[in-house]
Amino acid sequence: MNKTLFKLFVITFCLSLITSFSFGCGHVHVFDKKVVKNEYLSSRATCQQVAKYFYSCSCGDKGEETFDYGEKAAHDYVDNKFCNCGELNPAYYTPGLSFALINDQTEYQVSSYTGDDTHVIIPSKYNGKPIIKINDYAFNQLAFLESVALSENLVNIGMYAFNSCTSLTQVIIPNSVTSIGFLAFNNCPIENATLSTTALSKIEKTQLKNVNIIGGEIIAKNSFDGCSLLESVVISDSVQIIEDRVFNKCSSLKNVVMSKNVMSIGEGAFNGCSLLTNIELPNGVEVISDWLFSGCTSLESIEIPNGVKSLGYEAFSYCDSLTEITLPDSVNNIGIKAFVSCDLLNSVSIGSGVTSINYYAFSGCQSLTEIVIPICVTTINKCVFHNCDSLQNIYCQASEIPSGWSAEWNDTQAQVTWGYNE
């Protein structure tokens, strides 16, 4: 081999070693670059969220995490009416509406409707001035009207405004409405309603199926009592109090989205809601009221918030599908017949704060086979496990029967173990 060929061989060999070494070292990706280019776009801006881009590496590769960039997009109104997010175009109104100036020509009212559109949208302004009122009889006896969407700024709905609109099944009433006149929605078979607590007493509710409560602090007692067709309810976070029997015997109610700020739920509020399978209770609730979930025969699970102090009379009676319950340490009292006839209840965990278990608390719980009674329980009334025919073991952490326990506290054949230590 001559010297030239040898030198070429050596150079080639060295280059191959260098190349192999370089590839062997590799490159460690660090995805910390915010590059705003289409190639890194994760999702475009909408009217509800800003654009999102993927973080990138200095080498140009795209990571998996994203960052926000820019502003939200403008609303995209379909047919110039509603955006996909549900926002109403404030400039749109249904042809055929008649407006009249009121209050020294500073505001407008809707006087009448002569159009034939079955879905009416009333804007927040007309000619740059707010629309604050729907006049008396404005839509009276318009049997073809199917839905009406009212906008913010509206304050007053006059008497008989939508009287006998016998096809009106959907209404949107904004929070701004503070006054609804006599029989304003009389004889209207409303099925879907978006409204505040103020308007609840002013609409026909016998045909209601879906309700979105968008404002107000108190849902008054009996508001939906006996609304047997009601299936779904969304309660805004403005609501703090749900009074007695609000959803009593709403036998079709399946879905409830609860306000996270509710502090009080009244007696029998969900009594007889036989299709309700689960519900999330807010952390601010301190009392599970009497009959609160009595007769909720489909209720499968419920979490009692840490903060609840007492379970009322028949609070969960006849909850035939309830299989387990955990009482947090905040609970100090289990009321009379609190879980009576919960046929499938097979697991009960009593927290370390319970001091009192009242008469017939677990009577008729046919699937309950064992239970632990913590040492904190100083009072038990008679027959708390009456007719618990499957109960085999009762484990008491007390070393002997406390003086505050009734001599008839246990009328079952279950074996009682004293001084139990898990």
Taking the C-alpha atoms of residue 289 and residue 299, their distance in angstroms, rounded to an integer, is: 17
Q: How far is CA 206 from CA 187, 226, 227, 269, 335, in A?
A: 10, 8, 6, 18, 34
pLDDT tens string 57-109: 999 999 999 999 999 998 887 766 677 776 767 667 899 999 999 999 999 99
Say yes or no to pLDDT of 398 above 50: yes
List the beta bridge partners of residue 318. Answer: none
Q: CATH 3.80.10.10 residue ranges in the chain?
A: 286-422
pLDDT tens string 135-180: 999 999 999 999 999 999 999 999 999 999 999 999 999 999 999 9
- For domain 286-422, give the CATH number: 3.80.10.10
Taking the C-alpha atoms of residue 299 and residue 101, their distance in angstroms, rounded to an integer, is: 54
49 Cβ contact partners less than 8 Å away, ≥ 6 residues apart: 43, 68, 72
Strands 41-43 and 51-56: antiparallel
Taking the C-alpha atoms of residue 183 and residue 356, their distance in angstroms, rounded to an integer, is: 50
Question: Tokens 């009121």 belong to which residue?
Answer: 102
pLDDT tens string 295-350: 999 999 999 999 999 999 999 999 999 999 999 999 999 999 999 999 999 999 99
Average pLDDT over residues 185-198: 96
For residue 194, give both structure tokens.
Answer: 């978006």
175 neighbors 195 (Cβ within 8 angstroms)? no
Taking the C-alpha atoms of residue 82 and residue 323, their distance in angstroms, rounded to an integer, is: 45
Taking the C-alpha atoms of residue 329 and residue 315, their distance in angstroms, rounded to an integer, is: 18
Q: What is the model's pTM?
A: 0.80
Taking the C-alpha atoms of residue 327 and residue 349, their distance in angstroms, rounded to an integer, is: 6
For residue 407, give both structure tokens.
Answer: 């001599």
Q: What pLDDT, on a 0 to 100 scale, did the predictor assign at position 176?
A: 95
10 Cβ contact partners less than 8 Å away, ≥ 6 residues apart: none
For residue 384, give both structure tokens.
Answer: 């708390």
Taking the C-alpha atoms of residue 69 and residue 119, their distance in angstroms, rounded to an integer, is: 38
pLDDT tens string 220-270: 999 999 999 999 999 999 999 999 999 999 999 999 999 999 999 999 999
Nearest to 98 by CA among 108, 90, 83: 108
3-class SS at 13?
helix
CB pairs under 8 A, 24+ apart, for 344-349?
A: 344/320, 345/319, 347/323, 348/324, 349/324, 349/325
Task: State the amino acid at position 328 in one-letter form.
Answer: P
113 neighbors 141 (Cβ within 8 angstroms)? no
